[in-house]
Chains A and B, each alone.
Chain A
Amino acid sequence: MEALLALPIIRSLLPQGRKEIHLGDRFFYLSLKTFAVVIICSLVALVYLLWSIAAPAFANYGFHFFTVSTWNPVTEKFGTLAFIYGTVVSSVLALILAAPISIAVALFLNEVAHRHIGTLLGFMVEMLAAIPSVVYGIWGVFWLAPWMRSVVQPFLKGNFGWLPLFDGPPYGVGMLTAGIIMAIMITPTISSISREVFRTIPSTIREGALALGATKWEMLKLAILDSSRSGIFGACVLGLGRAFGETMAVTMVIGNRPQISASLFAPAQTMASIIANEYAEASSDMHRSALAAVGLSLFLVSLLINGGARLILWRSERAFRSRV
Chain B
Amino acid sequence: MIWDLQRFDRRRRWKNRLAIFSLTALTAVAVLPFVSILGYVIQRGYPVLSWQFFTSLPKPVGEEGGGIANALLGSIEMVALASLIGIPLGTLAGTYLSEFGRGKVATTLRFTCDLLVSVPSIIVGLFAYTLIVVPMHGFSGYAGAFALLMIQVPMVTRTTEEILKLVPQHLREAGLALGIPRWKVIIRIVLRGSVSGLTTGVMLALARIMGETAPLLFTAFNNRFWAEGFNQPTASLPVLIYTYAISPYDDWHAQAWAAALVLVLFVLILNISTRIIIGRRPEGRH
Residues in chain A within 8 A of chain B (CB atoms): 1, 4-5, 13-15, 21, 24-25, 27-29, 31-33, 35-40, 42-43, 45-46, 49-50, 52-53, 100-102, 104-105, 107-109, 112-113, 121, 123-125, 127-128, 130-139, 141-143, 184, 187, 191, 215-218, 220, 241-242, 244-248, 252, 272, 275-276, 279-280, 291-292, 295, 298-299, 302-303, 306-307, 310
B27 A135 Cβ-Cβ under 8 A = no
Q: Which residue of A lies closest to B18 (CB)?
A: A217
Query: B241 to A138, Cβ gap below 8 A?
Result: yes
Kindly state whether residue B92 has any CB partner on chain A within 8 Å: yes
Chain A residue numbers with a CB within 8 Å of B183 are 24-25, 27-29
In the complex, chain B residues whose CB is within 8 Å of the CB of A217: 15-16, 19-20
Assembled-state Cα–Cα distance A290/B159 (Å): 36
Is A298 a contact of B213 with CB atoms below 8 Å? no
For residue B181, CB closer than 8 A to chain A, the reply is yes
Contact B213 A132 (CB under 8 A): yes
| A127 interface neighbour in B108, B181, B268, Cβ under 8 Å | B268
* From B44, B130, B210, B268, residue with most partner A Cβ within 10 Å: B130
Chain A residues, Cβ within 8 Å of B260: 134-135, 138
Chain A residue with the shortest CB-CB distance to B149: A42
**In terms of DSSP, what is the predominant structure of the interface of chain B?**
helix
Chain B interface residue count, CB cutoff 8 Å, equals 91
Question: Interface-forming stretch among B49-57, B60-68, B115-123, B192-200?
Answer: B115-123
Q: Are A125 and B34 in contact (CB under 8 A)?
A: yes
B residues near A27, Cβ cutoff 8 Å: 183
CA distance A19 to B7 in the complex (A): 83
**Known contacts A33-B96, A107-B23, A131-B264: A245-B121 contact under CB 8 Å:** yes
Q: How far is the CA of A292 from the CA of B124 in the complex (A)?
A: 11
7 interchain residue pairs of minimum CB distance: A132-B211, A245-B120, A28-B183, A104-B26, A217-B19, A215-B16, A32-B96
**Docked CA distance A45–B130 (Å):** 11
Provided the pairs A32-B96, A39-B93, A134-B242 are in contact, do residues A123 and B275 lie with their beta carbons within 8 angstroms? Answer: yes
Say whether B267 faces chain A, with CB atoms less than 8 Å apart. Answer: yes
Chain B residues with a Cβ under 8 A of chain A: 12-13, 15-16, 19-20, 22-24, 26-27, 29-31, 33-37, 40-41, 44, 89, 92-93, 95-97, 99-100, 105-106, 108-109, 112-116, 118-127, 129-131, 139, 150, 153-154, 157, 172-173, 176, 179, 181-184, 186, 207-208, 210-214, 217-218, 221, 238, 241-242, 245-246, 253, 256-257, 260, 263-264, 267-268, 271, 275
Question: What residues of chain B lie closer than 8 Å to A272, measured between beta carbons?
Answer: 120, 122, 214
Closest A residue, CB atoms, query B182: A25
A101 touches B26 (CB 8 A): yes
Instruction: Tell me the smallest distance from the CB of B243 to a CB of chain A, in Å.
Output: 10
* Residue among B114, B181, B256 with most chain A CB within 10 A: B181
Distance in Å: Cβ of A109 to nearest Cβ of chain B = 7
Establish whether residues B213 and A24, one from each chain, have CB atoms under 8 Å apart when the complex forms: no
A2 nearest CB neighbor, chain B only: B182
Do residues A49 and B26 form an inter-chain contact, with CB atoms below 8 A? no
Contact of B181 with A24 in the complex, beta carbons under 8 Å: yes
In the complex, given contacts A46-B150, A125-B30, A135-B37, what are 12 additional A-B residue pairs having Cβ atoms less than 8 angstroms apart?
A15-B179, A24-B181, A28-B182, A36-B93, A45-B127, A108-B27, A135-B211, A215-B13, A242-B118, A248-B213, A279-B218, A295-B126
Please give the distance in Å from A102's CB to the nearest CB on chain B: 7
